[in-house]
Amino acid sequence: MTTDNPSTSLPIETAAKLNRRTLHLVLILVPMTALSLWLVYTQQRTTRVAALAASAIPAVIESPAHTWTSSSLMLSERELDVLETRDYVFRTYADGRGKPIDLVIVFSEDNRKGTHPPDVCLEGSGSRIMMRFDRTVNVDGVALQLRELITTNGPGRYSYFAYFYKCGDVFTPSFYRQQAQIVLNGLMNRNAAGALVRYSVTLDNPQDLPNARARVDQLLAVTFPHIKSKLNLSH
């Protein structure tokens, strides 16, 4: 007959519990530490100066139904300081068949501050967001989800905005989804480049939404293939 000796079994059980707790802490702390280091690194990057966004989208776009020409506009120094990137394109496209459309693309290699919600900028500049929608458009083989806004900036002054974010090969209307994807891609040593793509056109009134959508969709159809294939870092 044998009898367990508490004086020897207790330390072994305690050590096993401590080892399990240590392992759990390591499994939690290591990813958190890596994530924290990545966030600090991306926040401290210097302002990116490049022209990938501008070179990705032609200034003149030929299509069977339309010839789109464009004129270049500039973001303010204050806006560029906030974005911490000068890699952007801001153009007004016209085809002589309808209202001109503004296209803004802001590209950042891996600085998460380079892309942030247009809602914040619009409200900060004095516009009031009247309506928000999400809409899916099938373009170039992608079921592209757009975030849509109708804004007003005074009596009788209305605008329609449609935008989405890009990170690697992922397209999303959600700022938070894009930010999470940037962090994940960075941790996994994948393409962490991000971009905000925004289209806008003036509205005669909020009821003009179907015409505004149709108009933006025309430019989206000829610009999205370039965004999809060329708005990436070369490896």
The residue type of 85 is T
What local confidence, expressed as pLDDT, does residue 44 receive?
A: 43
Tokens of 219: 């430019």
The average pLDDT across 5-12 equals 51
Structure confidence at residue 41 as a pLDDT band (50, 70, 90) = very low
Residues making up the chain, counted from first to last: 235
Half-sphere exposure of 40 (CA within 13 A, CB side): 6
Structure confidence at residue 228 as a pLDDT band (50, 70, 90) = very high
The residue type of 105 is I
Tokens of 102: 């503004």
* CA separation for the pair 48, 193 (Å, rounded): 12
Is pLDDT at 233 greater than 70 in this prediction? no
Kindly report the average pLDDT of the chain as a whole number. 79
Lowest-confidence segment of 12-16, 97-101, 154-158, 223-227 by average pLDDT: 12-16
* CA separation for the pair 193, 9 (Å, rounded): 55
103-123 tens-digit pLDDT: 999 987 655 555 567 888 888
47-71 tens-digit pLDDT: 444 688 888 999 999 988 889 999 9
Name the residue with tokens 């430019």: 219
169-222 tens-digit pLDDT: 889 988 777 667 666 655 555 555 678 999 999 999 999 999 999 999 999 999
**8 Å CB contact between 89 and 231:** no
Sequence ranges of the domains in the chain:
1-44, 48-230
What local confidence, expressed as pLDDT, does residue 135 receive?
A: 97
Provide the greatest CA pair distance for the chain: 100
The better pLDDT of the pair 100, 85 is held by 100
What local confidence, expressed as pLDDT, does residue 84 receive?
A: 73
What local confidence, expressed as pLDDT, does residue 235 receive?
A: 42
Tokens of 209: 């939404």
* CA separation for the pair 193, 231 (Å, rounded): 9
What local confidence, expressed as pLDDT, does residue 33 receive?
A: 55
* CA separation for the pair 61, 48 (Å, rounded): 27
DSSP assignment, residue 49?
A: -
The better pLDDT of the pair 227, 84 is held by 227
Residue 54 in 3-state DSSP? helix
* CA separation for the pair 59, 182 (Å, rounded): 28
